[in-house]
Structure 1
Amino acid sequence: LGLAGWEWLHTVMFWCAVTTMLGGTCVAAVFLVLRTRSATSTERAQLQWLMLGGLVMALSFLGTTLTDLQKPPLIGDLLMMLGLLGPPVGIAIAMLRHRLFDVEAVLGRAIVFTVLSGIVLGVYAAVVAGAGLLAPGSLVGTATIAVTALLAANGRGAVQAAVDRLLFGHRHDPYAVVARVGRHIAPASEPAEAMQRLVDALRQALALPYTAFDSPAVGAASGTPVPGAGWRTVRCLALGREVGELRIGRRRSGEPWTVQEQGAVEEVADRAGTLAYAAALVEDVARSRARILSVREEERRRLRADLHDGIGPSLAGTAHQLDALARRAHDPDLAASITTLRDRLRSTVGDLRTVVQGLRPAVLDQLGLPGALRELLAGYDTPSCHCDIDAACRGLPAAVEVAAYAIAAEAVANAVKHSAASRLDLTAHLDGRDLALAIRDNGCGIAPRHKAGVGFRSMSERAAEIGGRLEITADPGGGTLVRAILPAGDPQ
């Protein structure tokens, strides 16, 4: 203070400073060691970096003291500078590498400050230079500078929002997240595709490493979980009952979840629940339709057998008996009536055979599915036809046999008529509980933008009716490949 007689304050201040700093440093070091020993995983690594910085500072101070005794001031100053950098560098590494504290907000604002400062300084310098050249010291130049400063101040919010979206997504704007997800799932054609689009859009909107949805009806996943970070689970409800769960991957272990993020995820979870409920309904309808079709085809097979083997022969035998009775009748009028009755009965038998043939392809009952598929390829010289059919394809459900035969017949007919192929291959085998049917030709193939005709639609409908799928693609070796996967169930 420069006051005479108060020099003793120097001594008091020196010893207070030494006692406080030395004692505080020792106490801090002890508690840092104790906390490091009790910490685990990432927190221990963070504290170890801080401890290393403190050790560097202590060693540099010790080195500074030793060099001061030998009076080389430059070395002592360098050691002091390095020592003072130790703790800040350790803290910086702990923050950036191990995510000490919530560094994202600091990082975002630091980027905004740097970008905005560069823009403002550049624009300000250009405006000042231009104003000085055009109207030095005038009111117009001053007003221009003021307007530039106001624009820069207003632009900070826009730059901050842009940086936040770039680094962290729309986590602070739940409505933006919901709107983005809604736009992304709008083009979907079925619930499963919509669910996949939903988890993709949610992961992108919140800049998450991993999102997934799990339910008995539908499942979808996007990204990969961060090892050791885990995920949060949000229940998805529809009509008051739980239909699945939405998994939100953490960016790091122990990451806080803001109120805005939670609100956005809960809104998206409601949509996911609705999609899962719709997927369950679609699956139930498909199962019911497949069961109805299976029962229908089984009943048709039974009716065909009964009509063909029972009623048909009985009516034919009755017609023969009437024919014999007409020959024995002595009354011409009676004989004519019997003959008329016989002709009507034979016409009825013909109509009955037509009905029987329409119930189910007769070749399936006569030869079975393998024989019926081979029969499709019989008699062709061009293209050269080859087949590879698993013997286990016998005894399949009636609906599967009819669908497979109809698809194969349409595909073979298309290949023979339109492909100009020299070779045609038909394969059929059981793949687990599915029947895999493939018809491949080496013809001209299909146009990139071909228009699906009645045959293509018919084949697709046949496969979809029993819960299967059909693919019509260009074969890599040239030509066309028609592939059907039909759920065969357990062979009867």
Structure 2
Amino acid sequence: MVTCAIGWLLAITRAVNGQHRTDEELLAARELSLRWQVARVGQVQWHQQKALSRALHGPIQGAVTAAAMRLDEAVRAGTDATALVAETRDELRAAVSLLEEKPDATPGMVSTLDLIIGTWQGVCRVVAATTPDATAALDNDELCRSCLRDVLIDAISNAVRHGDASIVDISISLVGDEVLVRVRDNGATSGTAAIPGLGTRILDECSTRWSSEATDDGYLLTASLPVMP
């Protein structure tokens, strides 16, 4: 009887432990899924904010400034500004309508990397390697591609300006439903750590996780960005 009871206790213990592990795995999977969804929403918001910023600081800002100057001049001259007000209103409406236009698409991944490499030519040697499946996924996902471009631009810029880096090595691969990017540089200071502003904000909003650490010959930035399968 004692042996039988012990056997039952062991079986129950194993079952409880197995269920506990299953629950932990389920919670971990749900957490990963939630991180992915939050970062994906961040990508959408980042993309929209960029489009709004371009419009507000471009045509809309110019239209508002010009309208204010024309109206101020009319008031100073004491002229009838009725027609000018109507004209200004139409111009402002036209400028605001630009917000409804779809922003220019981000170039494909190969072209994006070529542009980044060309930008720093003669200042810093940028080398980039992307796996074929990562390239295909990014070419089909403009949101992720746009955010990744901003991450790379900011990382390289900070590495050069604040770390005096002369070499930046970029590697991009596809891991499940995320793009894993590694940016290594030989700079003396971590660009991301030096400027906890735009760069860290992009990473906080658009990635599921990221880290920046010192290496024997510089710094390594690692980030995972959600990408649509």
TM-score under structure 2 normalisation? 0.58
- Offset at residue 420 of structure 1 (A): 1.5
Q: Is residue 2:213 matched to residue 1:473?
A: yes
User: What stretches of structure 2 of length at least 5 have no aligned partner?
Assistant: 1-5, 64-78
Aligned to 1:407: 151
Structure 1 residue aligned with 2:70: none
Q: Deviations over 1:69-127 (max 9, x none)?
A: xxxxxxxxxxxxxxxxxxxxxxxxxxxxxxxxxxxxxxxxxxxxxxxxxxxxxxxxxxx
- What residue number does 1:437 align with? 181
Q: How far apart, CA to CA, are the structure 1 residues paired with 2:14 and 2:181?
A: 44
Q: Which residue in the other structure is 2:75 paired with?
A: none
Between Structure 1 and Structure 2, which shows a larger proportion of strand residues?
Answer: 2
Contact 1:445 1:479 in 2 (8 A): yes
Matched, 1:278 2:50: no
Q: Retained in 1: the 8 A contact 2:40–2:226? A: no
Amino acid at match of 2:124: S
State the match for 1:397 in structure 2. Answer: 141
Q: How far is 1:373 from its partner? A: 4.1
The 5 A counterparts of 1:14-413 are 258-286=7-35, 288-289=37-38, 296=44, 336-353=81-98, 355=99, 362=104, 365=105, 367-380=107-120, 383-388=123-128, 392=135, 395-413=139-157
TM-superposed CA distance for 1:482, in Å, is 1.9
Deviation, 1:404, is 0.9
Contact 2:159 2:189 in 1 (8 A): no
Matched positions, count: 192
Report the secondary structure of 1:415's partner residue: helix
Percent identity, aligned pairs only, is 18
Deviation at 1:415, TM superposition (A): 0.6
CA distance 1:350–1:444, change in 2 (3 Å)? same
CA drift of 1:431 comes to 6.9
Displacement, 1:445?
4.9
**3-state SS of paired residue (1:367):** coil
Compute the displacement of 1:262 (Å). Answer: 3.6
Kept after mapping to 1: 8 A contact 2:40/2:206: no
Contact 1:435 / 1:486 at 8 angstroms: preserved in 2?
A: yes
8 A contact 2:173–2:179 mirrored in 1: yes
3-state SS of paired residue (2:184)? strand
Question: Larger relative contact order (C-alpha < 8 A, sep ≥ 6)?
Answer: 2
Residue 397 of structure 1 deviates from its aligned partner by: 1.4
Instruction: Measure how far apart 1:487 and its partner are.
Output: 4.5
